[in-house]
Amino acid sequence: MSKIGEDWENGKLSIATEHVASNVAQTLVKIIMEQVSGSGKKKKIMICVPVGEEHHIGCDVLETYLTIKGFKVYNMGTSIPTESIIEFLNMKKPDVVLISITIQDNVSAGQRLAKKIREKSKIPIFIGGYAMQIDNPPKFEGNVIGETSLEEIPKMLRKIPLTS
């Protein structure tokens, strides 16, 4: 998907082609999720994006992978106001929050989201996504994991104590 995004940005692909590719990827993630069994009796993980971030394929892939690894995952999707994310956090009490940021323009919104979560909770916050895969990522109220591989994330999450 990164290559497709780069090709679109460089004018090698049309926006229509990029959207078709994204829809195919989303469909594949849904098919995989339907095949996953188990209720996820391990840690509860909340995945969210800041207001303005409309890219969620990374979140969907991460949800699928973590579910397969036995975690209970709450994938908030896109277009969720920050206050709704905080309300959900208070209601479900996940053990960890993962914030995904794909577009650089959404980094400030991600910083605000992490700060608001930190004001309401001591829950561990990790920030990743394509926008964080840069040298010297910006500061957050949480840990930036931009260069962490998908395989390393469950190992990292297992080291965090359960909150409930």
For the ranges 10-19, 42-51, 81-90, 93-102, the lowest mean pLDDT is seen at 10-19
Look at the block and give the residue holding tokens 């699928």.
Answer: 64
What pLDDT does residue 116 have? 97
What band does 151 get if pLDDT is binned at 50, 70 and 90? very high
What pLDDT does residue 40 have? 43
Structural domains counted in the chain: 2
- Using one digit for the tens of pLDDT, what is the confidence trace for 111-138? 999 999 999 999 999 999 999 999 999 9
Residue 140 belongs to some domain of the structure: yes
Same domain, 7 and 59: no
Same domain, 62 and 116: yes
What pLDDT does residue 62 have? 94
Cα(136)–Cα(52) distance, integer angstroms: 23
Cα(17)–Cα(162) distance, integer angstroms: 43
Same domain, 44 and 78: yes
Same domain, 23 and 71: no
- Using one digit for the tens of pLDDT, what is the confidence trace for 31-56? 666 555 544 457 999 999 999 999 98
What pLDDT does residue 144 have? 96
Same domain, 151 and 134: yes
Q: Which residue has the higher pLDDT, 10 or 22?
A: 10
Average pLDDT over residues 5-24: 81
Domain extent at residue 11: 1-35
Same domain, 5 and 46: no
